[in-house]
Structures are given as C-alpha cells and as structure tokens.
Amino acid sequence: MMERVLVTGAGGFIGSHLIEKLHAQGAYVIALDDLSVGKLENLEANFDCFLEKDLAVPENVENLPKVDYVYHFAAPCSIIMFKRDNTNQLINSTLNGFYNILNYCKKNNVKKLIWASSATYYGNSKGKLTEDRMPNPANVYGYTKVASEHLMNLFKDVNHVGLRIFPAYGGKEEHKGTFASVPYLFLKDMLQGITPVIWGDGTQARDFIYISDLVDLIVKAGHKDTSPYLNLGTGQKMQFNTLVKEINRVIGTNIAPKYMPNPYANSYLHSFVADTTLMKKELGIANTSIKEGLQLTAEWIKRKVLHR
C-alpha cells in the first residue's frame, strides 16, 4: 500500500530535497510549510498536497490528515536569522511547533517521527562527539534543539529518531540569503569573481555533508529501527581556509579570501565534526566527496541563480 508521509518545512532546503526523494520513491507526500523562510518554487512538483500552515499554532496541527510517517524539518535553522529582531520567534516556532507535532504523532499513532535536532546540541564540546555525550549548547538555537530532545522524553510512546545534523550544503539554499551554508555562499561569490569573506582567521572547521547524502540517510532512518538519536555527517573536518582552496580548484579560479572580525564571537562554534560510528553501523555512509558536492552545487547555482 502507498505510504503516506507528512513533511514539514517542505519549502526549505532539507525539506524540499526530502520530498523530491520520497515522492520519487512513490510515497503520497503531504508537504507543509508556512513559507516564512522557504519558497514555493523549491517544492517543484514533488508533492501530492501542499498545506501552508504555521505549526506553532495548535489548531493548524490538530486536524492535519492522518499519515504513516512524519518528517519534521520545519524550524528556523539559524540563530543569527532571528537574533537581531526576535529570539522569541525562534523559540516559539521551534518548541511550540515541535510540541504540536508530538501531540499529533501520539494521537495518530504514526509509525515513526523523523525529526531535525542539530549538531549544535554539542556546542563547543571537546573530544569525540558521540551521541551519548551530554549537551553543551553555545547559543539559543542550540538550546532550542536540546529543549526539543527533552520535550521528546515526555512522549515515550512516539517512535522516533532525532537527527543531529551537521552543516549541510547543496542546491535549493537560495531562499536563505546570507544564512545559507558557507560552501554555498563562498561558491556563489567566487563564481561571480567576488572575494569570499571569512569571519576570524579561517582555521574554524565544520563537517560539511552534501544534501543528497543527508537526504538518503534521513530516509533510511525513517525505514529502519534505529537508536533514538543519530549524528548525520561525514566524519571529515574541513577548515574554511581549505574550503576556499577546494572551491578555487573546482571552479578554476584563484581568489584569496578576505578576513574580518567575527561579529558573533561570543556564541560562535569554532570547530566540530561528527563521530559517525553509530550512523555507519545503522544507516551507512555519506559518500559524496567535497569536490563532487561542490561541483554539483556550483552547477546548480550557475543554472538556477546566476543564469536566470
């Protein structure tokens, strides 16, 4: 029988790639987004039904159609997005939205809830970032994810997997503007001959995962029995200075970055990389190389952004 799925945040970066994959696999896809950040054009034709709703409002969630699986990816993805004007909006959207979704999953006995926690759970923790580590968030965004994990504890009968996602990059990030991933922003600038700007000295590092690898892992996590929390990353650390060199190699340029003081130094995470032991055991690996991921993202930017 055709599987029915609800994907929240479907107009966003991860959600839009996710509906593409689930729809191609033959699922009946109910796509939901309030379009506060995401864009309708990101959805393309990869859904059976689209609902424009704010999940933070309980009545919007109570009467959603019944589904087998819920993929919950609707939430602000950056603290900086909200810091200047309204941190309450970040908290309201993330926590009330999640609480409403949890009640919905319980009431409708969904088979599994697959939802986005974040690598920011670990903050600036030192050593191996294994899933059994204590939380150590460094900013409000990280706290909302830790609070979501605590909220999850109140819903013991909801089968779930919380995904501690490391920074993802790829096409369909354009709606995020200056909050898009660092590989995306650097690529977009450098493809136009613009100097990329690095906050600090460029020794900060991230574990960048290419979007199609991430989505493959998310879908696998939905269809298997898994641990309640899983890191999703590559296990490889990349410094921003090295990233600029890689991009120069991939697009055939020779552009040096410009450095400026970090405006968010107090809440900034310097470097983090996933421990992928559990992920590899339960789901498999993320196997797109950074070179390949950058090439694919560059092609997408050239086709969809720079040539329109």
Ligand X SMILES: NC(=O)c1ccc[n+]([C@@H]2O[C@H](COP(=O)([O-])OP(=O)(O)OC[C@H]3O[C@@H](n4cnc5c(N)ncnc54)[C@H](O)[C@@H]3O)[C@@H](O)[C@H]2O)c1
> Which residues contact ligand X (rule: CB under 6 A)?
9, 11-15, 33-38, 54-56, 73-77, 93, 97, 116, 118-119, 165, 167-168, 176
Q: What is the DSSP letter of 70?
A: E
Minimum CB separation from ligand X for residue 146, in Å? 12
Minimum CB separation from ligand X for residue 156, in Å? 22
- For the chain, the straight-line distance linking the first and the last C-alpha, in angstroms and rounded, comes to 41
Whichever of 150 and 249 has its CB closer to ligand X, that residue is 150
String of b and e for 162-194 (b: at least 16 CB within 10 Å)? Answer: bbbbbbbbbbbbbbbeebbbbbbbbbbbbbeee
Minimum CB separation from ligand X for residue 224, in Å? 20
Q: CA torsion angle for 247, 253, 259, 260 (degrees, to 10)?
A: -90
Whichever of 15 and 293 has its CB closer to ligand X, that residue is 15
Amino acid found at 274 = A
Whichever of 46 and 118 has its CB closer to ligand X, that residue is 118
Whichever of 33 and 68 has its CB closer to ligand X, that residue is 33
Other C-beta atoms closer than 10 Å to the C-beta of 278 total 17
Minimum CB separation from ligand X for residue 42, in Å? 8
Whichever of 177 and 284 has its CB closer to ligand X, that residue is 177
Minimum CB separation from ligand X for residue 288, in Å? 15
Other C-beta atoms closer than 10 Å to the C-beta of 227 total 14
